A and B are shown apart, each in its own frame.
Chain A
């Protein structure tokens, strides 16, 4: 137990990296995921095909393989990413955006078709229909699944530990090797740090959900 208190500064650095990775990747994934969802319902077929292909490939590939591709395969084609944090941001957000896109798309589908037809009938363009009529309603219904996606993402950042990013898990490994007899407690500390991110996220989710809930 003491080992967690004694190594608090080390935990804090790892925690900060994980938090930063989560915040930046989450923002990128949210924006890119919304764009992908819009592409998937767009009237232009090639855009729909692109977005569908992207979502299906990324959603069905394990995150470790996404990392592996970025770190070991992409350089073979001349794509040299700076090793470490930013590679992790790209991998995690590229992966998570597929899930965001699917969650948002399910929300879009939950808005009655009549709404879109009515919007088009009064002369709104596709972009206006989507941004003014559909998405504001869709996003409200997808807040709970979206928060789940982001909680999963916060935990998924741990994959970066094996790819030159010193976040919580890698910090835990460093501590474990210097404190071999307290391995279990060090892992408990790592787990607690993840809870410190995910539990507030869950609480925030229920607050936001209550705030935006509406009867249909």
Chain B
């Protein structure tokens, strides 16, 4: 009996160690200039967040170059850098940001329920979504494209997709685009884009499709993968926030516009997606 309880204690402490290892976050405490909450209009979202000194931001955890989480639990990528710029203008240091994973299918719900303060998650601005949430930005213009193995000769562009098995994410915009524009394709939808890689290598699917920048990220990490053809949609990435919080939206738009001109947008790109992709021109903000 004594041996058994000793083993139990050992097992418990081992799992406790493991759990604490999972919980540690290596947030970089970069210096952020102090911002006085009183400088924002009273009662605004900016004033509330600046006063609280912390913010909850939704991002994707599985998109290389934009928002990908490492073993330490902290996401990295261009979305994350943009979110840090906005938080910084509220006087919130990166280590005071709580990152919440938002997937394509739950972004509107998370904003509506207040689970996140705003979302930077390769979030395409479109009219249907504007009925549920508001968008600041765009801060980047992407377009859906497709990738396949370098050895694949059949698929050179979207026009070759008919009858082919194409991997994407269940409940994502790329899946909806494929269903609407290429009805002849056999869509195999998984839970995450990274799930597409093995079936692609095994020949269980012929190609994977999502936004060109995400594919470029996968192609950079996986030398046997290649992006093919020109983008066939326009995906302006915006920052999702509570519907009709016009004050907050205008302020984020101003913050983004300032980052386009003062070099912080370019620096954010260089620190993330810029490591494998050329630096694009900042997009024009859509103040609808």
Contacts and interface: CB of A to CB of B under 8 A. Distances in A.
Interface of A: 71-72, 75, 80, 82-84, 161-164, 166, 170, 172-174, 176-181, 183-184
Interface stretch (B4-12, B77-85, B166-174, B272-280): B166-174
Given A166-B187, A181-B129, 12 more contacts: A71-B199, A80-B202, A83-B205, A170-B170, A170-B171, A174-B175, A174-B179, A176-B105, A177-B105, A177-B172, A180-B128, A181-B132
B165 A183 contact: no
A71 B104 CA distance: 22
A180 B171 contact: no
B271 interface: no
A173 B108 CA distance: 13
9 contacts: A162-B170, A162-B190, A166-B170, A170-B171, A173-B171, A174-B179, A180-B129, A181-B129, A183-B105
Given A80-B204, A83-B199, A184-B109, A177 B176 contact: yes
B108 to A, nearest CB: 5
Contacts of B204: 75, 80, 82-83
Contacts of B128: 178-181
Contact of B190 (A82, A164, A172, A181): A164
B194 to A, nearest CB: 10
B198 A75 contact: yes
Contacts of B106: 183
B198 A174 contact: no
B242 to A, nearest CB: 13
A60 to B, nearest CB: 16
Interface of B: 104-106, 108-109, 128-129, 131-133, 165, 167, 170-173, 175-176, 179, 187-191, 195, 198-199, 202-205
B257 to A, nearest CB: 26
Contacts of A164: 167, 188-190, 199
Nearest to B129: A180
B9 to A, nearest CB: 23
B170 A180 contact: no
A179 B204 CA distance: 30
A161 B195 CA distance: 13
A119 B152 CA distance: 65
Contacts of B132: 180-181, 183
Contact of B176 (A71, A83, A170, A174): A174
B131 A177 contact: no
Contacts of B195: 71-72, 162
A14 to B, nearest CB: 12
Which 9 pairs, one residue from A and one from B, show the smallest C-beta to C-beta distance? A173-B171, A162-B191, A181-B132, A164-B188, A181-B131, A75-B202, A180-B132, A180-B129, A180-B108
